[in-house]
Amino acid sequence: MTENIKKKLFLFLRLVISFSLIGYIFYTINTEGKLSKLPDYFAEANYWWLALASLFVLSLLWTGSIRWGLLLRAQGVRLSRISVFMYYMIGMFFNNFLPSTVGGDFVKAYYLSKTTGKTAGSFISVLMDRLMGMGGLCVVAVSACLFGGRSLWLNPHTHTYALPIFFIVGGVSLGLVLFFLVVFNDRVLNLFLKLSGADTDGETPAEATEPSIMKERNFSLSRKTRAWLRKIGEKIQEFHQAMYIYKGHGKILGETLLISTGIWVMIVFVAWMVYMAFHGVPVSAVAGKISTIPLRYFFLFVPPIAVIMSIPISFAGLGTREAAFIIFFGTLPGIKELDALIISLTFYFVYLAISMIGGAIYIFKDKLRLHREGGLPVFKGE
C-alpha cells in the first residue's frame, strides 16, 4: 500500500468517525424528543455574550501571533506584527477546514518560508509555537486540577470522570516535560538514545542492532520493539537538532509559555461566555435555557477536551469535541445532553466565524502585502 493511499484511507476513516459521532449524538437526542427544542436556545440567546466571546477569540489570536513572532525573532526573522498576525490567521482558517487541527500550521509555515527563504526555520518556529501552546494548556490544566480537583473528586456527579481527567492532564503534562528535557538537555538526550538504541556511535553494524544497556541486562525484547524504540530515539534526535536554535533563548521560551498560559485562560473564558449566552433558570413556559455551571468546571473540563480534540482520529476535532463536552458537562446536575451540545457547537462556530478573517486574508494576500519587514531588534548571536 502506497503512502498516498494510506493518507487517503486515514482521511476517510477520520471523516467516518466524525460523522458517525455527530450522527449518533443527534440520533440519540432526537429519539428522546429533544432535538426539536434546538431553535429555542437561539431564540432565547443573549447575543451580546456571543459578541464578547468573538472579541475574546480575536484578541487571543492576536496574542498567539505575538507568541509566534517572538519565536521567529529568535531565528532572526524580522516581520511586522501585522504580517505575523496575517500569517497566523491564515493558519487558523486552514486549521478549521483541513482534516487535522494542525493542517493550518503547515500552510502558514509554507507561505512564510516562500517569502523568507527559511524553510526549516519557518517549520521549526511553527512546531515550537504548537509545543509552547501545549505547555500553556498543561499549566492551566494542572492549576485547575490542583485548585479544583478536590471538588471534582468529592462531587458525586463528577466523581466518575475525576480520575480520567487527572490521568489525561497528568500524563500529557509529564510527557511534555520529559520531551523538553530530552530535546534540550544533552545528558538526558544521551541517556535516552542509549536506552532506545538510537545511539550506535562506535559500534559495528551487528552490535548496533542491540541497545547496549539492554544487551547488558539481557532484556528479551522482540525485533519490532527494538526497532520501534530506535525509531523513537532517532526522531527525538532529529527534534533536538532542529530545535537547538532555541536552546540559548530561555527568556523567550519563558515569555512564550507565559503568553500561552494567558491564551488558554482566555479560551476557557470564551467557552464560559458561550455558555452565558444561553444561561438562565429554566421554567415550564420558557425553553432553551441552560442551568447554572460554575466557572471552575470550565477550567476543569475544557483543557482535557482540548487534549482529546488534538488526537488525530476525527476531521478537525468534529465529533470528538461534541462527545467530550456531553460526557464531561453532562455529569453536572441540571445539564442535559442538548445543553452540552449547544455549548460545544456554538463554541466551535464562534471560532469558525473569526477564522473566516484568515480566509479573506488568504484570498487577498497579494493586495494586502502579506510579507512586511519589521523594525524589530535582532537578538545577540544572530
* Euclidean distance between CA atoms 140 and 145, whole angstroms: 9
Which residues make Cβ contacts (< 8 Å) with residue 160, sequence separation at least 6?
331
* Euclidean distance between CA atoms 249 and 239, whole angstroms: 16
* Euclidean distance between CA atoms 142 and 183, whole angstroms: 22
- Among residues 236, 238, 190, 232, the alpha carbon closest in space to that of 212 is found at 190
Q: pTM of whole model > 0.85?
A: no
| CA distances (Å), origin 251, targets 66, 97, 130, 246 | 15, 34, 18, 10
pLDDT at residue 55, rounded to an integer:
97
Taking only the tens of pLDDT, the chain with its 382 residues reads: 676 777 778 878 888 888 899 899 988 888 877 888 888 888 889 999 999 999 999 999 999 999 999 998 888 887 888 889 998 999 899 888 776 555 778 888 888 887 777 777 788 888 899 999 999 999 999 999 998 888 889 888 888 888 988 998 899 999 899 888 877 777 777 776 776 665 545 443 344 444 444 444 444 456 667 677 677 767 776 666 667 778 777 889 999 999 999 999 999 999 999 999 998 755 444 556 888 899 999 999 999 898 888 777 877 778 889 999 999 998 898 898 999 999 999 999 999 999 999 999 988 877 776 655 554 433 333 3
Chain position carrying cell 466551535: 348
SS3 286: strand
**Entry field: residues in the chain:** 382
pLDDT at residue 326, rounded to an integer:
93
Kindly state the cell numbers that stand for 248: 540559548
pLDDT at residue 269, rounded to an integer:
97
* Euclidean distance between CA atoms 110 and 89, whole angstroms: 14
pLDDT at residue 242, rounded to an integer:
66
